Structure 1
Amino acid sequence: MTYYSVLAVTPNDDGWIPDYLPVAGSVIARHGGKYLARTTSHEQLEGQDSPAGLRIILEWPSEEAAKAFMADPEYAPHLQARTAGSDSVHFLIAGKDDLA
């Protein structure tokens, strides 16, 4: 089953970004993931204000692939840098409709 990572990331220190981008991209691809959106162009249409600098959507071939990416030793120091240098929220969402 396809899974999606949906992130809201607001950097509070940009120092981690130049090293993060190429490594994250290659590790994501190695685990079968791909970016669907990675943008500052977003608009909240509903709910309590939840601002973020970036909205990111990744597609994964499976839950296991997404979790393997998050646990990848090559990614670990970059994840630590991102979480230390930003306010981040990451949801992993199953590509299914439980209400159908």
Structure 2
Amino acid sequence: MTVFLIAEVKVTDDAWVPEYAAAVHDIAAKHNGRYLSRSGNIETLEGDQTDETLIALIQFPNRDDAMSFVNCEEYAPFGKARQEGSVSHFRLIDDTDIAGAISYLAKPV
């Protein structure tokens, strides 16, 4: 089942950003991940505006691939640098429809 890693990041020290941006998409690709977006163009349409500096959306074929990326040794130093230089939230969602009303999305199991 397809999953999406949503990274919401508020950069507090941007020293880590250039090296992370140059390398991490290749590491994600080794785990079958594909960046769908990595943008700082964040527009709040409803609700309170939050203070993220960037949001990234990465698609993986399944949860195991996403977790292998997040937990791999090659990513570890980049993840540590991001954690030390930002306030981050990594969220994982699947491609199901909790209401079961959208025909092209799977029903939750």
TM-score range, shorter chain: over 0.9
TM-score where L is the length of structure 2: 0.86
**Are the equivalent residues in 2 in contact too, given 1:12–1:85 (CA < 8 A)?**
yes
The AA in structure 2 aligned to 1:16 is: W
Whose RCO is larger (CA < 8 A, sep 6+)? 1
Displacement of 1:49 in angstroms is: 2.7
CA distance in 2, matches of 1:35, 1:86: 20
Give 5+ residue unaligned stretches, structure 2. 101-109
CA distance in 2, matches of 1:88, 1:32: 22
TM-score where L is the length of structure 1: 0.93
The AA in structure 2 aligned to 1:36 is: L
CA distance in 2, matches of 1:12, 1:45: 24
What count of residue pairs does the alignment treat as equivalent? 100
Q: 1:39 — aligned with what?
A: 39
Displacement of 1:47 in angstroms is: 2.2
When the two chains are superposed, the root-mean-square deviation of aligned CA atoms in Å is: 1.0
Displacement of 1:46 in angstroms is: 1.8
Greater Rg by CA: 2
Q: Deviations over 1:30-75 (max 9, x none)?
A: 0000111111112111223322110111111100000000110010
Give 5+ residue unaligned stretches, structure 1. none
**Are the equivalent residues in 2 in contact too, given 1:23–1:75 (CA < 8 A)?**
no
Deviation beyond 4 Å, 4+ runs, structure 1: none
Displacement of 1:92 in angstroms is: 0.3
Whether 1:51 and 2:54 are equivalent positions in the alignment is no
